């Protein structure tokens, strides 16, 4: 990321800049408020890290200027004079978080990583809302695994060879197949998905090959099969492992001869379509236990393409959430709290990308009046270990939950009157209002 670091203590600024550069960021270091304001008038940064107290202009002014960028910078503030009022003012102005001096460099790097995730999610939202498509990429993300899949998509699209896509449920196998089709010379022709597990065995042959009127009892009219519908496009066999052995034998013949015969027809029809297949299980094991034909496996597995589970590419989660927010929240009403975004990256997502998308939709549905989506919206009622496999929450999250519970109790005890609740908690009304806003709590106005 492009980072602007503003710190008047040069002895502190140098090691902070060094640790950010070692983490891969490009860092500009300034030591005075006016210099930072002048720099921001000519340049932009993705992350601002600024001291609250600066010579000439305070850090809040610099923060406010950085937040006026398009897109606004993500901001962190540092202070050696930590007070509740300063923290509230910084957060009110849009700061992601604050650091109280002295702090370990790991704390800064952790927040910088969080800022990078928020930036990636925001960039994806902006790109999609500006009209950039996501379908042609196959998979969303910037990880090495995604780049490898995208490279295979390009290679498969340039060929007419059969493609076998493997991966667990919810990883996006059909989306990858559609991306191959859209990137190929067959893009203007049909893409015909076949849910192999959903078609009853006694109807499968008629659905695939079609039939002529009178071919069997009940065939009152001719029916065009899925192979014919594919034309010169793509036939995609989803969950191909669920095809019965008899149907596997007939499909193998189609792939070998490139023709098929509708039920009740005296002549064969050409089959020019490209073929893609997907499996959520290891077909090699199915071949070994003789539930899947070895010869069909080799016919389909000309171009193998494996999609990794989401837990192996957790770095792609911010971009995926950006895509889903653009899709399900086109008005831009919601955002995801930084701490929650980090913890979503620590969850293993056994349902993969499909589970991630559904969890976001659930979070929006359960958020009530809150517009900042947090842990409890994604995993309502879940144990603390839901978002962290080791079952330990960060101290900040423990404090945040304790504060939310204390405010709820104070509001209940005072009949929803914020001023009285603030007095009961020993904080100002301003701090009470800001905490309720940050915590996504609602309440009646005094």
Tell me: the pLDDT tens digits for 225-252? 999 999 999 999 999 999 999 999 999 9
User: Given this model, what pLDDT does residue 383 score?
Assistant: 41
394-446 shares the fold of 140-306: no
User: Given this model, what pLDDT does residue 40 score?
Assistant: 95
User: Given this model, what pLDDT does residue 396 score?
Assistant: 60
Class of domain 394-446 (CATH, top level): mainly alpha
Question: To 10 degrees, what angle do helices 429-438 and 395-413 make?
Answer: 120
User: What's the chain's length in residues?
Assistant: 446
Residues in the chain predicted with pLDDT less than 50, given as ranges, are 383-392, 444-445
Distance between CA atoms of 179 and 154, rounded to whole angstroms? 9
Distance between CA atoms of 318 and 345, rounded to whole angstroms? 8
DSSP strands (E only) in 319-440: 335-336, 372-373
Structure-token match 């879940």, residue found: 382
170-198: pLDDT as tens digits: 999 999 999 999 999 999 999 999 999 88
Structure-token match 């709820």, residue found: 408
Task: Report the share of the chain in percent with pLDDT over 90.
Answer: 53
User: φ, ψ for residue 315 (rounded to 5)?
Assistant: -65, -15
User: Given this model, what pLDDT does residue 391 score?
Assistant: 43
Sheet with strand 47-51: strands edge to edge: 26-30, 2-6, 47-51, 74-79, 97-100
Are 385 and 391 spatial neighbours (Cβ–Cβ below 8 Å)? yes
Helix (H, G, I), strand (E, B) or coil at 392: coil
* 2-103 belongs to CATH 3.90.280.10: no
- The alpha helices in 168-244, defined as continuous H runs, are 173-183, 201-209, 226-230
Distance between CA atoms of 68 and 340, rounded to whole angstroms? 25
User: Given this model, what pLDDT does residue 443 score?
Assistant: 56
User: Given this model, what pLDDT does residue 133 score?
Assistant: 60
User: Given this model, what pLDDT does residue 384 score?
Assistant: 39
User: Given this model, what pLDDT does residue 379 score?
Assistant: 83
User: Given this model, what pLDDT does residue 436 score?
Assistant: 79
Distance between CA atoms of 176 and 311, rounded to whole angstroms? 18
Distance between CA atoms of 5 and 7, rounded to whole angstroms? 6
Q: Select 140-306's CATH number: 1.25.40.10, 3.40.605.10, 3.40.50.720, 3.40.50.300.
A: 3.40.50.300
Domain boundaries, the chain: 2-103, 140-306, 394-446
């Amino acid at each position: 990321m492009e980072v602007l670091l503003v710190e008047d203590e040069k002895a502190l600024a140098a090691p902070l800049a060094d640790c950010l550069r070692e983490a891969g960021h490009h860092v500009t270091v300034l030591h005075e408020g006016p210099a930072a304001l002048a720099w921001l008038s000519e340049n932009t940064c993705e992350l601002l890290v600024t001291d609250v107290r600066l010579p000439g202009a305070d850090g809040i002014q610099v923060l406010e200027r950085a937040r006026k960028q398009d897109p606004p910078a993500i901001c962190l503030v540092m202070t050696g004079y930590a007070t509740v009022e300063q923290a509230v003012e910084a957060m009110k102005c849009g700061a992601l978080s604050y650091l109280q001096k002295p702090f370990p460099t790991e704390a800064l790097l952790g927040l910088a990583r969080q800022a990078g995730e928020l930036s990636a999610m925001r960039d994806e939202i902006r790109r999609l809302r500006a009209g950039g498509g996501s379908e042609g990429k196959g998979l969303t993300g910037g990880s090495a695994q995604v780049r490898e899949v995208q490279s295979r998509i390009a290679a498969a699209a340039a060929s007419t060879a059969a493609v076998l896509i493997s991966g667990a449920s919810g990883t996006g196998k059909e989306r990858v197949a559609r991306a191959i089709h859209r990137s190929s010379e067959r893009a203007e022709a049909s893409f015909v998905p076949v849910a192999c597990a959903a078609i009853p065995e006694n109807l499968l042959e008629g659905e695939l090959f079609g039939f002529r009127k009178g071919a069997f009892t009940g065939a009152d009219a001719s029916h065009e099969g899925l192979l014919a519908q594919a034309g010169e496009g793509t036939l995609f066999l989803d969950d191909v492992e669920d095809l019965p052995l008899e149907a596997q034998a007939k499909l193998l013949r189609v792939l070998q001869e490139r023709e098929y015969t509708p039920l009740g027809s005296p002549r064969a029809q050409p089959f020019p379509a490209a073929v893609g297949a997907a499996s959520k299980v290891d077909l090699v094991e199915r071949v070994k236990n003789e539930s899947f034909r070895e010869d069909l496996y080799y016919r389909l597995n000309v171009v193998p393409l494996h999609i990794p589970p989401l837990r192996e590419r957790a770095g792609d989660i911010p971009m995926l959430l950006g895509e889903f927010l653009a899709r399900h929240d086109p008005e831009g009403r919601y955002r995801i709290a930084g701490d929650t975004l980090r913890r979503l990256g620590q969850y293993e997502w056994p349902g993969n990308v499909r589970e991630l998308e559904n969890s976001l939709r659930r979070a929006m549905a359960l958020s009530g009046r809150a517009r900042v989506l947090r842990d409890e919206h994604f995993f309502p009622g879940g144990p603390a270990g839901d978002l962290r496999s080791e079952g330990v929450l960060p101290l900040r999250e423990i404090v945040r939950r304790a504060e939310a519970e204390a405010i709820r109790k104070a509001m209940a005890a005072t009949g929803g009157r914020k001023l009285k609740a603030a007095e009961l908690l020993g904080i100002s009304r301003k701090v009470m209002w800001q905490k309720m806003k940050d915590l996504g709590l609602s309440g009646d106005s005094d």
